[in-house]
Structure 1
Amino acid sequence: MAATAAHAGARQRQARPQQHRSAQHHHGRALRRRSTRGAGEWRITADPCGRVSQKNWGRAVAMANPRSTRINECAVERRSVCGRSHRREWPETAGAVLVAPGVKGRKVAAFKRDEVNRKDAVSGLIRSIIGPGGDARRAFFVLDLAEVVDLYNGWRRALADVRPHYAVKCNPEPALLGALATLGAGFDCASRREIEAVLALGVKPGLIVYANPCKPESDIRYAAEVGVNLTTYDSEEEVAKVQRWHPGCELILRIKGPENAEAKIDLGTKYGAHADEVVPLLRAAQRAGLNVAGVSFHVGDSATRTDAYREAIVAARGVFDAAAALGMPRMRVLDIGGGFKAGAKFDEAAGVIKNALARYFGELPSVEVIGEPGRYLAETAFTMAARVIGKRKRGEVREYWIDDGVYGALSCILMDHYVPRPRPLASSYPGEQTYASTVFGPTCDSRDEVVVGYQLPEMIVGDWLVFDDIGAYAASTGANFNGFFTSDINTYLAYSS
């Protein structure tokens, strides 16, 4: 019965008008089902050197002009349904981001973003990237730099007095780091390599917080060598290490976040001084001759009880007062941590944070408040496409293998509680037969399962699955198990309009 339905669906597809026949032939099986286009799309007619580039609809390869904040030398045209062409200039922010370190010199695809049908717009771009030689490609990311700009601006609107220090551990993609540096972000680094990655982009050491309360001695020495002079601690042993290897470094005391913040990942079990440890740790720094510049906390990843931020800010103010009572220099930094997730909960948390800062730190205007957003700035800006490389039928169940799994970028399933909702790149149609499907990753480990019992239409080897909102703790937590290297997954840059 299922086979009959599948054959019937195939006949329906063959019977449809072939208004996009050339495009379907060009992109192969990836476009075998109905496709849609927006009212206006972008193409490029020449790059800054005058060379003619591909004119595939949905793809505009733009090379940044280093002498301008606008890409005026790229003849990017828009064709609307009326047939007229319109010269397009990038917004000022876009121009700055497109010449940012990590972005400059790389191709950037331009596409029209439809807020209602956002996934369709990204799918069109993915099809153009796959192109006619799709069988030679492997899984890849698409980074929409415009989404990064929007998220950064959203943070600045919601928390205007809190400077974001992006948590590099979340996603160290150089283009993302460079774009954020250009926009004005600081950085939260937790290791020598993260510091090296940020400094390589031209970021000043003073914009880096070495936010790891327990560091190897060699990395502390490195921080001293490059001028990263602000780090976190929550133990007397860490005070001794910093005193020996980086005596000019200032400290930030990491305190434990509130209980029951209803966070996806509770970080308080590993890091953060308890209330009865605060004064002894302040005194330890005082004896060592190290300045404690401020306080940091982290309520946990994706915390849903937003009042936890108020409780943490109250606790932080208590530490400020305790330091003053000990005669220590006035603290000047409050780090409210990270774990923020874009959306309504972030807006709610921002309101709680602003009110608490006004109430408990309002009379301390010299205090610099910073945050460590990682997920907030990275998660929704990335989309991943993975290719179907194997298939097996077992009755009514379909089993597929794709070229990324839980040891690669999809490690976020295990490490970050990511809930995958893969969708076929090929557009579906109403009433299409779906099957309970299992999707495996490429390794030989039987635990390399992406989804089980998930409804998908019939697919074949060479089709593609798309994973949305996969920018947080994905590639950064992957491994190289079984010879499948996470670092082999390319990132294509885009800027939506």
Structure 2
Amino acid sequence: MISFEQFELIGDTKVGVLPQQVNQLEMCREIAAAKDLEENDSSFMLVDLDKIIERFELWKRELPMIEPFYAVKCNTDLVLIRILASLGCGFDCASREEIDIVMGTGVSADRLIYANPCKTRSFITHAMERDVRMMTFDNSEELLKIARLHPNAEMILRIAVSDPTATCPLNLKFGADPVLAGPQLLKLASEEGVSVVGISFHVGSGCNDASAYRNALQHAKNLCEIGEGLGFKMDIIDMGGGFPGAEHHNPFEKIAETIRDALDEFFPETEKRLIAEPGRFFAAGPFSLCANIIHATEVPATKITKDQKDCGDHGYMYYINDGVYGSFNCIMFDHAHPVGAPLFDVGRNEKYISTIWGPTCDSLDLVEDKKLMAKMEIGEWLYYPDMGAYTLAAGTTFNGFAKPIPMYVMSEELWGTIKDSSHISF
């Protein structure tokens, strides 16, 4: 396959170490060209580990006062988790399995928050056994359940403050009303002798309106004052997720500026521990998917457009070896709109109306529709960048089609930096 100057191990996984900075597109071309020589048409996911470090540095530059706790549900890739752990990141876990995945890499329990407001009873007991103490709640039933099963828990009240325009609003499912229910839950915790240590919120995945953070922090301040009046320390403010992971019309820098301004207003010179739960922010950009065209067929354009004015024109339907039951489940579950392009310059300028299908026998397995694209041939490759968020984590092998094989690369310079500074054993 590809001849790297050296390989290193992260856990049990081989990482190709390059003498220069990684160029994802060029590296994907090299890998695909090598696979073509072997007549190997299996899809693959290139994972640029340099980009994880670049995203972490961006976070520390824009929000240095906030500790990132990576949302494991976004992508459970062990190499991604190990890199973030080596950088000192904390982790937001939502289940027993996620707790074990993270702690299996050597991360200590105090770097985890069990941030699922509705937890399975046996999972709560497991968290106690592993000494995971920070956990969220948003209702009285959960509070009483944890009080009985995990008396050492350090509870964080999750409130419902959301950006209604977010890609995935979350306040319909989770979060207590900050004005009505919040104070009542704090009072109940005091009566039951349960330790409450802070407030959390999540404005929604794929936040579009950064002002939602200001509104949430104002409510958090009010509830902290109520909690402190009841004798709680209220040391933690957890700002949840919603931070963009790739190109976004409300860029991360703008959101960070709004958060900094709101913190200056509501928590100036605070000694509270400020944390957040970014997922796609770290996971999206490092992963690039290359899928092979396993079949191509010419069809009347009207079959694609359903418009009789296109009668007489022709288009193409392409079938690739990954789809919505695999990496492209993000289309169904994350409201994503992946946009692919030919991996290589095909030298054909004329574009035709096209549809790209996944490989399964299900007609729901539609990746892109009514797309203008140069004519492609069977065996050629399509390139999809920014495919790390809510893709592999929920992918299946439905209909017997394998998930893409991840291939990890990193520059020699950043490998040395990570290896020398890491507290995690690679």
**Same-fold status (TM-score > 0.5):** yes
| Equivalent-residue separation in structure 2 for 1:437 and 1:188 (angstroms) | 40
Give 2:266's aligned residue: 360
Residue 455 of structure 1 deviates from its aligned partner by 1.8
Where does residue 380 of structure 1 map in the other structure? 285
Q: Distance in 1 between matches of 2:382 and 2:16?
A: 22
Corresponding residue for residue 79 of structure 1: none
Q: 1:451 matched to which residue of 2?
A: 368
> 1:332 — aligned with what?
235
Aligned-partner residue type, residue 355 of structure 1: D
State the partner residue of 2:298. Answer: 393
Q: Judging changes above 3 Å, is the alpha-carbon distance between structure 1 residues 229 and 285 closer, same or farther for their aligned structure 2 residues? A: same
Query: Which residue type is aligned with residue 4 of structure 2?
Result: A
Which position in structure 2 is the counterpart of 1:273?
176
2:126 counterpart SS class: helix
Query: Paired residue for 2:275, among 366, 370, 373?
Result: 370
Structure 1 residue 112: deviation in Å?
A: 4.7
Instruction: State how far apart, in whole Å, the 1-side matches of 2:315 and 2:241 are.
Output: 41
Q: 1:305 and 1:107, CA in 2 relative to 1: closer, same or farther beyond 3 A?
A: closer
Q: 1:392-432, CA deviations, whole angstroms, 9 ceiling, x for partnerless residues?
A: 21141111111110111101111112112111122133x62
Q: Aligned letter for 2:157?
A: L
Contact 2:7 2:17 in 1 (8 A): no
Distance 1:60 1:281, change over 3 A: same
Q: More deviation in 372-381 or 432-441?
A: 432-441
Q: Does 1:148 align with 2:52?
A: yes
Structure 1: give runs of 5+ residues left out of the alignment. Answer: 1-53, 65-98
Pairing 1:337-356 to 2, within 5 Å after superposition: 337-342=240-245, 345-356=251-262
TM-score scaled by structure 2?
0.88
Matched, 1:232 2:149: no
Partner of 2:405: 490
Which amino acid in 1 is paired with 2:261? N
CA distance in 2, matches of 1:315, 1:121: 48
Give the whole-Å Cα distance in 2 for the aligned partners of 1:129 and 1:147.
24
Which residue identity does 1:156 align to in structure 2? K
**Structure 1 contact 340–376 (Cα < 8 Å) conserved:** yes
Is 1:188 the counterpart of 2:92? The answer is yes
Kept after mapping to 2: 8 A contact 1:111/1:494 = no
The answer (yes or no) to whether the contact 1:112–1:121 under 8 Å persists in 2 is: no
What letter matches 1:361 in structure 2? F
Amino acid at match of 1:321: E
Q: How many equivalent pairs are there?
A: 395
Matched, 1:175 2:83: no
What SS is found at the alignment partner of 1:322?
Answer: helix
Listed one character per residue, the Cα deviations across residues 361-393 of structure 1 (whole Å, up to 9, x for unaligned) are 12532x100010101111111100111112221
Is the CA contact (8 Å cut-off) linking 1:340 and 1:375 kept in structure 2? Answer: yes
- Measure how far apart 1:359 and its partner are: 2.0
2:15 to 96, 99, 107: 107
**2:297 partner SS:** strand
- C-alpha separation in 2, matches of 1:193 and 1:351: 35
Q: C-alpha separation between the residues in 1 aligned to 2:97 and 2:343?
A: 36
Provide Cα deviations, 1:299-319, integer angstroms capped at 9, x if missing partner. Answer: 112212111111111110011
| SS of equivalent to 1:106 | strand
CA deviation after TM superposition for structure 1 residue 168, in Å:
0.5
1:467-490 per-residue CA deviation (whole Å, 9 max, x = no partner) reads 1111100111223322334xx422
Letter in 1 for 2:299: R
- The RMSD of aligned alpha carbons is 2.0
2:205 maps to what in 1? 301
431-440 vs 412-421, greater mean Cα deviation:
431-440
SS in 2 for 1:390: strand
Q: Using the alignment, how far apart are the partners of 1:286 and 1:383 within structure 2?
A: 49
1:98-148 per-residue CA deviation (whole Å, 9 max, x = no partner) reads: x6x54x65132527558xxx5642443433552522x33421111100000
* C-alpha separation in 2, matches of 1:234 and 1:186: 22
The question of 1:121 aligning with 2:26 is answered yes
Does the CA-based 8 Å contact 1:397-1:436 persist in structure 2?
yes
Q: For 1:28-107, what aligned pairs fall within 5 Å after superposition?
A: 60-64=4-8, 101-102=10-11, 105-107=13-15
| Cα gap change, 1:179 to 1:128, in 2 (>3 Å) | farther
Q: Report the equivalent of 1:161.
A: 65
Equivalent residue in structure 1 for 2:159, among 251, 255, 258: 255
Counterpart of 2:368, as a letter, is: V
Q: Which residue of structure 2 aligns with residue 47 of structure 1?
A: none
Is the 8 Å Cα contact of residues 267 and 298 (structure 1) preserved in structure 2?
yes
Query: C-alpha separation between the residues in 1 aligned to 2:277 and 2:87?
Result: 15
Equivalent AA in structure 2 for residue 283 of structure 1: K
Query: What is residue 132 of structure 1 aligned with on the other side?
Result: 37
* Cα separation, partners in 2 of 1:110 and 1:163, compared to 1, 3 Å: same
**Structure 2: stretches of 5+ with no match in the other structure:** 301-313, 414-426
Measured in 2, the distance between the counterparts of 1:125 and 1:352 equals: 41
SS in 2 for 1:362: coil
TM-score (norm 1): 0.76
Q: Output the CA distance in 2 between the equivalents of 1:484 and 1:257.
A: 40
Q: Percent identity?
A: 35
- The whole-number CA distance in structure 2 between the counterparts of 1:126 and 1:255 is 47
SS in 1 for 2:251: helix
Distance 2:91 2:325 in 1: 27
Q: Structure 2: which amino acid aligns with 1:208?
A: L
Whether the 8 Å contact between 2:189 and 2:196 is mirrored in structure 1 is yes
Question: Is it true that 1:404 corresponds to 2:404 in the alignment?
Answer: no
Counterpart of 1:127 in 2: which secondary structure? helix
**Whole-angstrom distance in 1 between the partners of 2:244 and 2:27:** 21
